[in-house]
């Protein structure tokens, strides 16, 4: 009996220690559970705040801005200059039909150019160029919605990475997307034979802009750089197109300095698959108005002057005329941010980027007139495989 009592007395300190240990464990567990709950609550609050900020930023009314490039070394920084209110996209009425198919798209991936044409309607307001992979993603989205033809323009497309950027886009569109038609519009001055060797197989049509076969007129217009001979570049590119089996096209803008010129003989000599003849067009904020980088008012010709130019060249079978009425709303134009540009009101009102809202949503604010697109002959034989040209 005494031994039993002694044993119980000896175990009491251990029981007390065990009880204290359990209390500490319980307190520690309670602290951990409380801290975890606090962390979860804080995380939820922060996540909710971030989501609300993003939603508010996405749908907040936007101001019309001009983007002014500030060069610092080789990096591009941009300064936003607020120059008047404009309606945000949410307040604008859609200008295009719901079932529009982006059959043919013009992607102006850069605004930079080495020429200084006085009537240019897509001027160097920014130096922004999308990263190559993002540009490819946008082109893939367009293909999924029915794009068959992509035209790369600018600015001057060959100015970015010495032509490798547009070359890789051509390769992607022809090989990965299997587009029937891949085309480029260029001034021709930066094109090299090395580019044709590397990328020519991925290109269907190369269009070179030429507004006159008089060197003095080209200089007056601004279609040249330094001592480079624009007409010499034109003819050299024509030879390379023939050599590397690429359809050759010429674009001409009829303006006050070339409206009396007869280009019949040199055009027939160069024998392009198409000679696109445009009437000089004014676009607010681009080549007209106080905010424009160009002022093309002095370049504009009347409808009668444009018709007279066409009559003078009626014997040229490859001539494809486009007056202002035909041209203004019949092109699907993507800017450097992959936003469709709506020209229905005389300027370029951008949609949201197709990379952010998708093709269908952006198309609603493109201002695209699909009926006029077909009326002006926007759908033609645009694959070199179908042109059956004699190389």
pLDDT digits (tens, 9 = 90+) for 239-281: 999 999 999 999 999 999 999 999 999 999 999 999 999 999 9
Give the pLDDT confidence score for residue 45 in this predicted structure. 67
Q: Are strands 274-279 and 319-322 parallel, antiparallel or unpaired?
A: parallel
Region 363-377: mean pLDDT is 94
Domain ranges of the chain: 1-60, 98-386
Spatial separation of the C-alpha atoms in residues 98 and 107, rounded to whole Å: 21
Give the pLDDT confidence score for residue 170 in this predicted structure. 98
Residue 80's pLDDT band, with cuts at 50, 70 and 90, is: very low
Decide: 368 and 100 in contact? Cβ < 8 Å.
yes
More confident residue, 293 or 47: 293
Q: Which of 31-40, 106-115, 264-273 has the lowest mean pLDDT?
A: 31-40
What does pTM read for this prediction?
0.76
Q: 49 pLDDT exceeds 70?
A: no
Residue 59's pLDDT band, with cuts at 50, 70 and 90, is: very low
Q: Is 117 labeled as catalytic in the residue annotation?
A: yes
Spatial separation of the C-alpha atoms in residues 136 and 12, rounded to whole Å: 78
Q: Is 113 labeled as catalytic in the residue annotation?
A: yes
DSSP H helices in the chain: 2-59, 132-144, 164-171, 193-199, 215-221, 230-243, 264-270, 303-312, 324-327, 354-357, 359-363, 370-375, 384-387
Give the pLDDT confidence score for residue 91 in this predicted structure. 53
Residue 83's pLDDT band, with cuts at 50, 70 and 90, is: very low
Q: 24 pLDDT exceeds 70?
A: no
Region 126-139: mean pLDDT is 97
Output phi, psi for 304, to 5 deg.
-65, -40
Region 144-167: mean pLDDT is 97
More confident residue, 100 or 26: 100
Residue in 37, 117, 173, 241 annotated catalytic: 117
Region 347-363: mean pLDDT is 96
Across the chain, what does the average pLDDT equal? 85
Q: Hey, which CATH number is domain 98-386, 3.40.630.30, 3.20.20.70, 3.40.50.300, 3.40.50.720?
A: 3.20.20.70
Q: Which residues make Cβ contacts (< 8 Å) with residue 171, sequence separation at least 6?
A: 199, 202
Give the pLDDT confidence score for residue 55 in this predicted structure. 42
Residue in 22, 120, 210, 343 annotated catalytic: 120
| Closest-CA residue to 254 (of 197, 200, 319) | 319
Residue in 22, 37, 113, 241 annotated catalytic: 113
Decide: 244 and 200 in contact? Cβ < 8 Å.
yes
Q: Is 210 labeled as catalytic in the residue annotation?
A: no
- What angle do helix axes 164-171 and 132-144 make, rounded to 10 degrees? 30
């Amino acid at each position: 009996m005494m031994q039993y009592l002694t044993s119980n007395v000896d175990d009491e300190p251990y029981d007390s220690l065990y009880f204290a240990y359990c209390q500490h464990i319980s307190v520690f567990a309670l602290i951990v559970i409380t801290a975890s709950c606090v962390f979860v609550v804080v995380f939820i609050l922060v996540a909710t705040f971030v989501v609300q900020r993003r939603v508010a930023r996405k749908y907040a009314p936007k101001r019309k801005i001009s983007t002014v490039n500030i060069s610092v070394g080789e990096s591009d920084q941009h300064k936003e200059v607020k120059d008047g209110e404009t309606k945000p996209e949410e307040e604008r009425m859609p200008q295009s039909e719901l079932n529009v198919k982006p059959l043919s798209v013009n992607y102006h991936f850069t605004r930079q150019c080495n020429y200084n044409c006085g009537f240019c309607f897509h001027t160097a307001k920014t130096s922004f160029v999308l990263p190559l992979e993002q540009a490819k993603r946008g082109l893939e989205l367009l293909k999924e919605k029915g794009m068959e033809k992509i035209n790369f323009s600018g600015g001057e497309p060959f100015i970015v990475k010495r032509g490798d950027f547009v070359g890789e886009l051509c390769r992607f569109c022809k090989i990965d997307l299997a587009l029937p038609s891949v085309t480029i519009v260029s001034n021709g001055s930066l094109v090299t034979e090395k580019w044709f060797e590397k990328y020519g197989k991925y290109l269907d049509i190369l269009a070179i802009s030429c507004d006159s076969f008089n060197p003095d007129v080209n200089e007056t217009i601004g279609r040249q750089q330094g001592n480079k001979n624009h007409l010499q570049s034109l003819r050299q590119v024509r030879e390379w197109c023939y050599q590397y089996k690429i359809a050759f096209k010429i674009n001409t803008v009829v303006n006050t300095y070339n409206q009396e010129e007869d280009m019949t003989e040199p055009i027939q000599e160069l024998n392009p698959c198409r000679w696109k003849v445009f009437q000089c067009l004014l676009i607010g904020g681009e080549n007209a108005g106080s905010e424009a980088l160009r002022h093309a008012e002095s370049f504009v010709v009347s409808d009668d002057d444009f018709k007279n130019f066409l009559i003078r060249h009626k014997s040229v079978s490859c001539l494809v005329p486009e007056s202002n009425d035909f041209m203004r709303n019949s092109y699907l134009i993507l800017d450097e941010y992959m936003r469709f540009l709506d020209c229905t009101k005389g300027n370029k009102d951008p949609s949201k980027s197709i990379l952010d809202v998708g093709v269908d949503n952006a198309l609603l604010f493109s201002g695209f007139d699909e009926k006029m697109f077909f009326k002006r002959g926007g759908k033609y034989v645009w694959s070199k495989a179908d042109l059956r040209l004699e190389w």
